[in-house]
Amino acid sequence: MADPRLLAALDLMRRMPPSRMESSLEELVDLVPDLTDDLLNTVDQPLQLAKDAKGNAYLLCDYNRDGDSYRSPWTNEYDPPLEDGVLPSTKLRTMESLANDIFDGYREMYYEGGAVSVYFWDLDDSAFAACVLFKKDVETKIKGLNAGNWDAIHVIEVKPGQSGKAGYKLTSTVMLRVAVDHNVKGAGTGEIGRA
């Protein structure tokens, strides 16, 4: 049975404004430090952007993190460097590289900018998992729109079956934030966020 404190913490996080997700999570971790790992592994946070040593942009998440280092899907190297960081098998790394190229083209056509990262990892001898991350921020101020962003996290678990078939499980999270200014019509300001 799950820890009732963890269930209460997760229930509380669902009720917090998405625009305060990171600060709410930090404050909750301060209140119950022994739940830190469970909370960080369970609560989806807005995606952060980084650049690897070659200048390639990539997204940070729990799926490319090892300790305090993050792996670039473009170079397959950790920043800060790790000698024993977890890396995908050769077969999965080939699939990961191809998926990053494909989804980068998709990102440009569909989002017209933003960032995408795809990460693969082994689950056991034959099963594997992958995540596809998208981040798009409003780049120019539009009348009445102060800020906005879209973060999407898609996690796929694949278990090969018999006769060349496979079973899969897809879990998606989309975090949308829009801050609007209705002062033009005297209605005030507003912010919408949903995770």
Q: What is the pLDDT of residue 165?
A: 94
Q: What is the pLDDT of residue 90?
A: 96
Full-model pTM:
0.84
Residues of the chain with pLDDT below 70 are: 1, 140-141, 182-195
What is the CB-side half-sphere exposure of residue 113 using CA atoms within 13 A?
7
**Cis bond before residue 18 (omega within 30° of 0):** no
| Torsion (CA) 6, 10, 16, 21 in degrees, nearest 10 | 90
Buried b / exposed e along 35-67 (16+ C-beta atoms within 10 A): beebbeeebbbebeeeebeeeeebbbbbbbbee
Q: What is the pLDDT of residue 171?
A: 94
Amino acid sitting at position 169: K
pLDDT digits (tens, 9 = 90+) for 132-183: 999 999 876 677 777 788 999 999 999 999 998 999 999 998 888 887 776 6
